[in-house]
Amino acid sequence: MRAIAAGASDVGLQREHNEDSFVVLKEYDLFVVADGMGGHRAGDVASKLATETISEFFKSTANDDVTWPFHFDTNLSEEENRLLTGIRVANRQIFERSSRSREYHGMGTTVVGAMFSPRKGRMYIGHVGDSRAYRVRGGAIAQLTRDHSLINDYLLAMPDLTEEQRSELPKNVITRALGMQDQVVVDLQHDDPRPGDVYVLCSDGLSGMVTDEEILRIVSGAADIREACTQLIARANEHGGEDNVTAVLIQIEAQPDQAMAVSGSTGTSGGGEGGRARASSAGGAPPSSGSAASADTAPPMGGTVTQPMMSPPKMDAPEDGLGMTDEPTSPGLAPAKK
């Protein structure tokens, strides 16, 4: 299997500038969305620092002869360690910048990152805050991440809260974010994708304005993931566009030899689930030439920024064992989002 991706970001209708950032790093099958917070444009600095730091970490650790800044956890796979460490390095960079500069004091960002391993056929996901990862498969949508929010923490501790009690809790308060402390707890998980799956990484400007059912309908009905990105952002703005909106969609496709095998045995070209139309998926041809602007930088502030679909090369990864992390509650509260 292989992954293709498309991303877009928009300032929305009620914000003066865009504090979201995203990156599609095709060389490493890495995809990241960050949603910054902090006054005087500090939020966009934090989110951009997060995406750029994670990208640079992946590039700098492409060779084995590199000393990692954090301890390698032998209970986790190499892919998990890499994603975890990249996020932790970003947290430290943001925290140190915030501590040194009065202008950026208190800035922070949420983050959700996904890394696909073609060799293992596995998607690794790490997140901090309330930026989300979804999976669309076979006509159904599943939220893969849990928001690190005050409301969710209350519900974990007191699941029997009434609707009235829930309504009294402050909204848009997150309990975990990059840059709040010198250490951060990152939630890690993995998912076993199938050809035809689409993973949606997004800021809360999308998930807070567009229901899961609407996301499912748009992703399932669009001609390709680039069009789906455009439609998702348009729908968020149709519903008020109260925040910056960012989405990165990752579609899993069968490799050419796999697609040919399916075609020979079933009499159809391609495969996949949910009846989605796919650009050049039959036979495994990439949906675009890859001639877009650089995919390893965050989008500039304001307006709508898109990155077209990209077809990453295969990446060999060692067959390490897989370990899972728990979800401890991180102390302290992050500031209310924007």
Indicate whether 1 belongs to any domain: no
Indicate whether 209 belongs to any domain: no
Q: For residues 159 and 307, which has the higher predicted lDDT (pLDDT)?
A: 159
Indicate whether 249 belongs to any domain: yes
pLDDT at 258: 57
Model confidence pLDDT, tens digit, residues 84-99: 999 999 999 999 999 9
Q: What is the mean pLDDT of residues 219-247?
A: 97
Q: What is the mean pLDDT of residues 179-201?
A: 96
Indicate whether 90 belongs to any domain: yes
SS (H, E, C) the chain: CEEEEEEEEECCCCCCCCCEEEEEEHHHCEEEEEEEECCCCHHHHHHHHHHHHHHHHHHHCCCCCCCCCCCCCCCCCHHHHHHHHHHHHHHHHHHHHHHHCCCCCCCEEEEEEEEEECCCCEEEEEEECCCEEEEEECCEEEECCCCCEHHHHHHHHCCCCCHHHHHHCCCCEECCCECCCCCCCCEEEEECCCCCCEEEEECHHHHCCCCHHHHHHHHHHCCCHHHHHHHHHHHHHHCCCCCCEEEEEEEEECCHHHHHHHHHHHCCCCCCCCCCCCCCCHHHCCCCCCCCCCCCCCCCCCCEEEEEEECCCCCCCCCCCCCCCCCCCCCCCCCECC
Q: What is the pTM of this model?
A: 0.76
Indicate whether 87 belongs to any domain: yes
Q: Could you give the number of structural domains in the chain?
A: 1
Indicate whether 330 belongs to any domain: no
pLDDT at 54: 97
Q: Range of 148's domain?
A: 17-203+238-274+283-310
CATH number (domain holding residue 64): 3.60.40.10
Indicate whether 8 belongs to any domain: no
Indicate whether 211 belongs to any domain: no
